[in-house]
Amino acid sequence: MGEPLPTSRPEVWAGVECTVNRVGDRYFDQLARTGHDRRPGDVDRLAGLGINAVRYPVLWERHPDPVDWAWAGGRLDRLRDLGVRPVVGLVHHGSGPPDTSLVDPAFPGRLAAFAAQVAGRFPWVDAYTPVNEPLTTARFGGLYGHWYPHGRDDRTFVRCLLTQCRAVALAMAAVRRVNPRAALVQTDDLGEVYAAPALAGQARFENDRRWLTWDLLCGRVDRRHPLWRWLRDVGTPEAGLLWFRDHPCPPDLIGVNHYVTSDRYLDDRLEYYPPGLHGGNGRETYVDTEAVRVLPDGPAGPAGLLRQAWERYRLPLAVTEAHLGCTPDEQVRWLWHVWRAACSARAAGADVRAVTAWAAFGAYDWDSLVTREAGSYEPGLFDVRSDPPRPTPLAGLVRDLAAGRRPDHPALAGPGWWRRPERLLVPAPGPARRPLALV
């Protein structure tokens, strides 16, 4: 710390954690659990931090037909009055109302119809995220079985991903019939995968796969794409893939959601891990663990990922989620770390527009990937365990960044835990293979 904030710097955004995910027949609703849906004054609390924009939910699952606009209208209209730009999200790790799902061919058209209703009620809203993190949601719901429809195979994963990406394209088309200038802010996690030399092939595959949300929307997935053969081999119809080539819907802003555990390391040294962590790809057995816990020099992190995204797409970028479930001091260090990384990438030529302090009112049970209700709460900019919600040290940091002031929180005098030697849990591996993704 010590240098002033750069004159040319990213905007400061905030985001309301609003996941409504389904496990079996049960929905887990973060807006209800944090109480945000019952506190209209929260909008003023956010605006009071001086932020430029807020990722804000108008979720399909929470607005059954016919739609009652009282809740969304009161909050979005208030944001407009306060001069805060809403980036409206329609599905956030969700699978839609109970009578549809991520493998339902009708899902995209039905979401588009809801998007048209939202745009008709709020024609002044000029930024949307129709579906948050399609690839991550497809992994959790179609590949790992955590969320509905609880698939555990590549075929279901791809169906979930294509359904969501098609829904994004159709939803934006519907919105733009009302507001032709509406921007698509397309988010996903961009964690990089590192690996022991013997697992370089698996790492290369996963590093190609992590781009699929944006590759599909940009019309890049054709017969020359490195994953074309794999996509076809898992049963994806050629016409379903080429639809995106023929109907491109490139993001106006690529939103990189990044967490300290996003970057992964594939380790074949099974002896260092309990058997419950052993997994594999059907050919090799390995442990998929946090890269920050294994690599002595650490992963590339947010600065490196932003540069990779810029080199690949040359589209405007933002960090659309930055959050750490940890102590208040570590939370401050993490957001400052991400902010400085965004400034570094911007100084190097990447068009980085914003950094988003996520989980403004905290989040529940993400330590179990929201698969159970254990009451595990992580505060964000505000701690909702007080009434009214209490500003945390993160709120002070956001206030400083938004005002262009150099933060002076004492925690910033030391490194975050992700930079300290005690973070390493196993002996250092040999040279980690970091396959380059196709640009």
77's enclosing H/E stretch is helix 70-82
Q: Looking at residue 430, what is its pLDDT?
A: 75
How far does CA 175 lie from the centroid of its chain? 22
Domain count, the chain: 1
Q: List, in sequence order, the alpha helices (H) in 83-153.
A: 107-121, 134-138
Q: How far apart are CA 128 and CA 116, in angstroms?
A: 12
- DSSP 8-state class, residue 362: -
What are the b/e assignments for 51-87, b being 16+ CB within 10 Å? bebbbbbbbbbbbeeebebebbeebbebbeeeebbbb
Instruction: With respect to residue 221, please indicate whether it lies within any of the assigned structural domains.
Output: yes
Q: Residue 178: give its domain's CATH number.
A: 3.20.20.80
95 φ/ψ angles, rounded to the nearest 5 degrees? -135, 15
Assign 352 to helix, strand or coil.
Answer: strand
- Distances in whole angstroms, Cα of residue 330 to Cα of each of 11, 14, 46, 190: 22, 18, 21, 22
Q: For residue 393, give the nearest of 405, 377, 411, 378 by alpha carbon.
A: 411
Instruction: Identify the bridge partners of residue 285 per DSSP, sorted by sequence position.
Output: 280
- Which distant-in-sequence residues (6+ apart) come within 8 Å of 297 by Cβ? none
Assign 416 to helix, strand or coil.
Answer: coil
Q: Looking at residue 438, what is its pLDDT?
A: 32
pLDDT tens for the chain, 439 residues: list them.
445 677 789 999 999 999 999 999 999 999 999 999 999 999 999 999 999 999 999 999 999 889 999 999 999 999 999 999 999 999 999 999 999 999 999 999 999 999 999 999 999 999 999 999 999 999 999 999 999 999 999 999 999 999 999 999 999 999 999 999 999 999 999 999 999 999 999 999 999 999 999 999 999 999 999 999 999 999 999 999 999 999 999 999 999 999 999 999 999 999 999 999 999 999 999 999 999 999 999 999 999 999 999 999 999 999 999 999 999 999 999 999 999 999 999 999 999 999 999 999 999 999 999 999 999 999 999 999 999 999 999 999 999 999 999 999 999 999 999 999 999 999 989 765 554 433 2
Instruction: With respect to residue 96, please indicate whether it lies within any of the assigned structural domains.
Output: yes
Instruction: With respect to residue 431, please indicate whether it lies within any of the assigned structural domains.
Output: no
- Distances in whole angstroms, Cα of residue 212 to Cα of each of 22, 161, 164, 244, 307: 23, 9, 12, 11, 17
Q: How far apart are CA 163 and CA 388, in angstroms?
A: 40
Q: For residue 226, give the nearest of 256, 204, 248 by alpha carbon.
A: 204
Q: Looking at residue 435, what is its pLDDT?
A: 46
Q: Vertex 263, ends 261 and 264: CA angle to 5°?
A: 95
Instruction: Work out whether the CA dihedral 43, 46, 50, 55 comes out positive or negative.
Output: negative
Instruction: With respect to residue 158, please indicate whether it lies within any of the assigned structural domains.
Output: yes
> What residue numbers bound the domain in which 210 lies?
11-261+295-423
187's enclosing H/E stretch is strand 183-189
Q: Looking at residue 292, what is its pLDDT?
A: 97
Give residue 231's identity as a one-letter amino acid code: L
Instruction: With respect to residue 436, please indicate whether it lies within any of the assigned structural domains.
Output: no
Instruction: With respect to residue 430, please indicate whether it lies within any of the assigned structural domains.
Output: no
Instruction: With respect to residue 183, please indicate whether it lies within any of the assigned structural domains.
Output: yes
Instruction: With respect to residue 429, please indicate whether it lies within any of the assigned structural domains.
Output: no
